[in-house]
Amino acid sequence: MAFQILLNFFLAFTWMFMTAEYNGLTFLIGYFFGLVILYILRRFFDRRFYIFNVLAAIKLLLIFIRELILSNIAVLKVILSPKLMNRPGIFALETELTKDWEITILSNLITLTPGTLVLEVSPDNKILYIHAMDIKDAEEAKQSIRNTFEKAIQEVSR
Amino acid sequence: MKTNDVIFQTTTKVVLFIIVMFSIFLFFAGHHNPGGGFIGGLMTSSAIVLLLLAYDIKTVKKILPINFLTLTAVGLMIAVLTGVGSFLFGAPFLSHTFDYFELPLLGETELATAVLFDIGVYLVVVGVTMTIIQTIGESE
């Protein structure tokens, strides 16, 4: 992915040198044509066309914003309810992610969305220990983490 | 004996894109400067020929799954249609026009219908050149 972005920048600069106009607009035009060339020759690379990774990263950001709003509303409900009905607890989540940065992003996303909090990562990077505000729906939280965050992160690093 | 083409192939990976970029530059330069559909198309096919030299014909077919005969037909079709299009405005066959448009981001840009005709020429040149080279290359 990094190689493709670098090559695209390189092509945009080549375009600027060929047209002998050095401004942002020419760079953008060159970048666009570079993008088209890279798309046509995308099977030439080992990795997939990098725009798909960029789109996946944007999607991850949107998912994060949506989850943040939804779970803040959930916490608000718990705080404002007259009786304390929730049962806190800790559960383990086995993750399929392997790279260090993937696990870091997953833990940060779980922590930043209220209701769940990562306490510790097991030494072999396979299990995350998560504190849940309400242990009753731990299984549900597990599923939602798997389906939203883990999938989205895998999509970014593919 | 099969030699190791690692230097050739790695250089191709970068040079290929610069050649294609240059061919696009030549294509768009054609209106006011030397260049145009023919030389742009030839330059693009030379980039594909470089790919053919560095790799084998199977790899190139995997990278560019294009039927070059169809590409030639599409190019001819575009060229003819731009000519026929002038009938819609009551002008003789192959009459071309241009105008200035205010495009977002790009500002005032001159858009000419002759570019569409040139795209046809470009596709025909790429298609014909690649058909010739692939046909010769494939025959044992």
- For the stretch B107-126, pLDDT in tens is 777 778 888 889 999 999 99
Q: Write the single-letter amino acid at B109.
A: T
Is residue A117 within 8 A of residue A110, CB to CB? The reply is yes
Q: Has residue B2 got a pLDDT over 80? A: no
Interchain proximity B13–A37, CB inside 8 Å? no
Measured CA to CA, the distance from residue A45 to residue A5 in angstroms comes to 12
Judgement on whether residues A26 and A8 belong to the same structural domain of the protein: yes
CA distance between the termini of chain B: 19
A134 lies in the same domain as A87: yes
Q: Count the residues in chain B.
A: 140
Q: What ipTM goes with this model? A: 0.76
CB contact under 8 A, A18 and B18: no
pLDDT for B140 equals 66
Q: Are residues A55 and A14 in the same domain?
A: no
Contact call for A11 and B17, based on CB within 8 A: yes
| Beta carbons of A73 and A27 less than 8 angstroms apart | no
pLDDT exceeds 70 at position B129: yes
Edge-to-edge strand list for the sheet holding A127-132: A89-94, A127-132, A116-121
> A83: domain range?
50-157
Give how far the C-alpha of residue A39 lies from the chain's centroid of Cα atoms, to the nearest Å.
Answer: 23
Residues A56, A19 within the same domain? no
Interface residue ranges in chain B relative to chain A, Cβ cutoff 8 Å: 13-14, 16-18, 20-22, 24-25, 62-65, 105-107
Query: Measured between CB atoms, which of A11, A28, A40 is closest to B21?
Result: A11
Question: Using an 8 Å Cβ cutoff, are A119 and A90 in contact?
Answer: yes
Residue B139 identity: S
Domain identity same for A28 and A90 = no
Domain count, chain A: 2
As given in the structure block, the two tokens for residue A30 are 């060159």
A90 CB-near residues (< 8 Å, 6+ apart): A119, A129, A130, A131, A132, A135
- Same-domain pairing of A121 and A84: yes
Q: Report CB contact under 8 Å: A11, B16.
A: no
pLDDT of residue B5: 81
A40/A54 same-domain check: no
Give B-chain residues touching A20 at CB under 8 angstroms: none
pLDDT bin (cut points 50, 70, 90) of residue A142 is confident
Domain ends where: A28, A44, A60? Answer: A44
- The rounded distance, in Å, linking the Cα atoms of B46 and B40 is 10
The answer to whether residues A29 and A95 belong to one domain is no
* Whether residue A54 is found in the same domain as residue A40: no
